[in-house]
Amino acid sequence: MQSVKSTSILRRFLQKSRLVSQSRSFCGVSSNVLIDEPESTVLVEGKASSRTAILNRPHVLNAINYSIASRLMKLYKSWEDDPDIGFVVLKGNDRAFSAGGDIVSLYNLLKQGNFQDCKEFCWTMYSLVYVVGTYLKPHVALLNGVTMGGGAGISIPGTFRVATEKTVFATPETLIGYHPDAGASFYLSRLPGYLGEYLALTGDKISGAEMISCGLATHYSHSAKIRLIEEQLGTLITDDPSVIERSLENWGEIVHPDPASILHRIGTLDKCFSHDTVEEIIDALESKAAKQDAWCVATLRKLQETSPLSLKVSLRSIREGRHQTLDKCLRREYRMSVQALSGQITSDFCEGVRARLVDRDLAPKWNPPTLEKVTDDMVDQYFSPLTAFEPELELPTQQREAFT
């Protein structure tokens, strides 16, 4: 089975286990955002020594709203404090793990002038990502289906991620005038070479086999074995990550990326996406496209569909994330998200969601419309400290140590 080495997982988990468990603080805010009842959006199954949380909004591919994020925060705190619970499993109902944050609901809130609820959702969502990434017990995410955006955010920072042939991963935020968030600047920046920049800028999709190959997943199994994996996990009475890993390995398979995989073009990708600016990246792609390189031509088409401002903001975010801990990435991403949703710099988020998910005309009118019209001041504003009246994201770093 292809998986991360046991020693790597154990080292990371033991690092977490040294954390002080008393006086734990989970950042959260009260809100009545969106309409679902929390109990119905996250179902719970109790096992011998574990609990399984099931994302339950299958009609929207388990898109994460405030109800889901806040309920998971409460459940995870309760389970972490319970000595009878050894580990946690997270999965999605039906054909998706999670398509990410419920951006249509955010769009509707902004159209109603309800910016405050949007901020509260981001605050709770990013706090949840931090909890998953610093959880004191092993965390197993079963990524059997669509795993995008915020869905990746609440799974990839955890201990184990099981991908299947049905898994589809992407961070497609630049296509809606946004930026990869929910910890994406942390985990994308740590992928081999400049794969993270490529995925962040283009929003391209990769498979479960590609996820295991590049390190986004820790294990790979056929979807038909997921039920068996769950059954075996349910019999374990342990909080030992090595025991859980051996259980996952019992159902693992060795897989290789498809011949057309982006991972087979990593040399060309690195040469193009290693440049310092979006303009230089595009110049490098155009130079190779002129020599009839089909992959470069296709990549240029993908970039042409995105928001010019989002491209520049996202590239800088990944580059900064490469040198930051998870908590620092999340704090910066919260700052960026508040700026993006406020509409003070640009209305690209609302325009992107409208064009792709509301009116579906696929013809967004970006502002600025071209890279040449994106100023340094616009980009800098995304990364600038919020005003005195706008609190920065608070994370319990004294009680829950961030990892690097």
CA angle 211, 214, 218 (to 5 degrees): 60
101 noted as active-site residue: yes
Amino acid at 290: A
Cβ neighbours for 253, distance < 8 A, ≥ 6 positions apart: 1, 2, 220, 221, 222
Task: Say which amino acid occupies 69.
Answer: A
Residue 321 annotated as catalytic:
no
Spot the catalytic one: 120, 181, 245, 333. Answer: 181
> Which is the catalytic residue, given 101, 145, 208, 321?
101
Q: Which of 173, 245, 333, 351 is catalytic?
A: 173
Q: CA 378, CA 156: separation in Å to the nearest integer?
A: 30
C-alpha separations of 86 from 71, 136, 225, 235, 264 in Å: 20, 10, 23, 12, 39
401 is catalytic: no
Say whether 181 is catalytic. Answer: yes
Instruction: State how far Cα 102 lies from the chain centre.
Output: 13
71: left (phi over 0), alpha (psi -120 to 50) or beta: alpha
Whether 177 and 312 have beta carbons less than 8 Å apart is answered as no
Place of tokens 């640009």: 346
The sheet that has 168-170: what strands, in order across it? 96-98, 146-148, 168-170, 206-207
Catalytic residue from among 150, 203, 208, 252: 150
CA 86 from centroid of its chain's CA atoms = 25
| Cα angle 301-349-142, degrees, rounded to a multiple of 5 | 80
- The residues annotated with a catalytic role in the active site are 101, 150, 173, 181
